Amino acid sequence: MQTNGIKKIGDYTVTRILGRCAQACVYLAHNAAGKFFAIKDFNNPANLTAEVVNLTSFDHVNLIKLYESKADGVHTRLGDYVLPCTYAVLEPALGGEIFDFVATGAFPEPIARMYFKKMMDGIKELHTHGVYHRDLKPDNIFLGSDLELKIADFGMSKNIADMVGTTTRTRLGTEPYMSPELLAA
């Protein structure tokens, strides 16, 4: 299994890469007790802030769970080299990205409706607490091993309390999924 040469992140033993994005690499790893987690290893320590701040207060079935974060963590690479890193320990969503299911047309309409409702329940929870995801797309919506829908990747999220007196016309996110208003700006 590919691990980018990383054996451990903090106290977690890396098993394999789950995915990559512009800001981080996500690994499947386990603790000493054998429990599995998704470890999001950030390229830049500043990228950890939004993810942690906007996920810390949630415990909702349709939002990925944050267990811990470290701004001053370490990697242990093959050859026992130790390097600094910044990471978040998240609930693993091993059922895959919704994108993979949508692309193959795998969901009959009643199942698609059920998952749409679960996605809206997660978004409602975020918005009730003033958090806006700002990069919601099929690649950031996962299924847990129990096939429960999980909204993930809060790296571009914002809390409305931080935006008082500002507009949200910053061009962030993935262009094919951006609103027409942002694309026109």
pLDDT tens digits for range 142-170: 999 899 999 999 888 888 877 665 555 56
pLDDT at 89: 96
pLDDT at 182: 63
pLDDT at 181: 64
pLDDT at 76: 82
pLDDT at 165: 59
**Within 10 A of 56 (CB to CB), how many other CB atoms are there?**
10
pLDDT at 185: 65
Q: pLDDT (tens digit, 0 to 9) for every residue of the chain, 185 residues total?
A: 577 778 999 999 999 999 988 789 999 999 999 999 999 999 888 778 878 888 887 899 999 999 999 988 888 887 788 888 999 999 999 999 999 888 888 889 999 999 999 999 999 999 999 998 888 999 999 999 899 999 999 888 888 877 665 555 566 667 766 666 666 66
The CATH number given to 6-90 is 3.30.200.20
Domain boundaries, the chain: 6-90, 96-184
Residues known to be catalytic: 135
Tell me which fold the domain 96-184 belongs to. Answer: Transferase(Phosphotransferase); domain 1 (1.10.510)
The Cα angle at residue 1 between residues 9 and 81, in degrees rounded to 5: 35
The Cα angle at residue 121 between residues 118 and 125, in degrees rounded to 5: 145
Rg (CA), the chain: 17
